[in-house]
Structure 1
């Protein structure tokens, strides 16, 4: 890693480290999982079996077909809530399975 200046903030240093080591995708996966858990609450989380972010598509595996059908009607709202929670647009599509 090349130092650009002598004094940088911790935040700048961490961001440079993350981008240099290509860690952002992994961090985004963790952040999206945490956002899903906090936004959806226990009712939905009890039926969520897997959460996976691939590129900008969020794949949610659910053990309840009834819940899957219910959530499919609000995909755009869920996308907006998750992106708002994360402060930037990470998710552009949700696939419920």
Structure 2
């Protein structure tokens, strides 16, 4: 953190602390999981059972093999939409199970 006595926004202070203590990856993973329903919309969110992030890969458990197959074709688009929503490259890959 800067050593000046100038006021800083709470957001910038928290962001610096997250980076300093090595929590950025966990924080971004939580944001990605939380954003999934909003990014994909209600129809697709309703056919997914579980979403988790590990080492840059967003894992999505899908209720049926037909939906899994359909979503698999669009995995690059989902990755791009997630990263756009998050404002930075957080998701390296999306895997549907």
> What TM-score do you get using the length of structure 2 for normalisation?
0.86
CA distance in 2, matches of 1:27, 1:16: 13
- Where does structure 1 lack aligned partners over 5 or more consecutive residues? none
Residue 71 of structure 1 aligns with which residue? 71
- Aligned length, in residue pairs: 96
- Where does structure 2 lack aligned partners over 5 or more consecutive residues? none
Secondary structure in structure 2 of the residue aligned to 1:51 = strand
CA distance in 1, matches of 2:52, 2:3: 36
Secondary structure in structure 1 of the residue aligned to 2:60 = strand
Residue 4 of structure 1 aligns with which residue? 3
Q: Is the 8 A contact 2:29 2:90 kept in 1?
A: no
Residue 59 of structure 2 aligns with which residue? 59
CA distance in 1, matches of 2:16, 2:37: 28
